Amino acid sequence: MFGEDASEMRVLPYWGRNLGNISQDHLRLSLINRDFTSNDYEALLSLDEAAGRSRGANQDRIDRLPCYTVAEGSKAPPCTVCLDPLNVSDQARILPCLHQFHKDCIDRWLRDNSTCPVCKMDPFSV
């Protein structure tokens, strides 16, 4: 008894209500500019959280870890991220587990993985 009308009703929720008064343009606009609901907001939030977990630490937290300039006579072991030695006047960063790396190397690493590359300790958990 509904025939083709019934299938269109499923596609367009507006069908059968006010459609005679709404132009196609208005209908399209009302679909695009639909209200941003709290459901949308929560979906965005959970997306953010998922991204945050996989991205590792943000730069703000990384910057709270101590760094220093390597001095003459330093006995620091080589950086295990790039395997190059920590040379005099290089910027180095030292984690709470006392492992140390080039600042640039460990910053890049921590933005992807928030653990020490040597011992897997979470330097932000202390």
Return residues touching Zn ion (CB under 5 A). 79, 81-82, 97, 99, 102, 105, 116, 118-119, 121
65 vs 121 by CB, closer to Zn ion: 121
Query: What is the closest distance, in whole angstroms, from the C-beta atom of residue 38 to Zn ion in the complex?
Result: 42
16 vs 77 by CB, closer to Zn ion: 77
Q: Give the tokens for residue 115.
A: 């653990």
Type of residue numbered 125: S
DSSP tally for the chain: helices H, then strands E: 5, 3
Query: What is the closest distance, in whole angstroms, from the C-beta atom of residue 115 to Zn ion in the complex?
Result: 8
Query: What is the closest distance, in whole angstroms, from the C-beta atom of residue 66 to Zn ion in the complex?
Result: 14
67 vs 81 by CB, closer to Zn ion: 81
User: Is-contact 80 97, C-beta < 8 A?
Assistant: no
The dihedral formed by the CA atoms of 75, 76, 82 and 84, expressed in degrees to the nearest 10 = -10
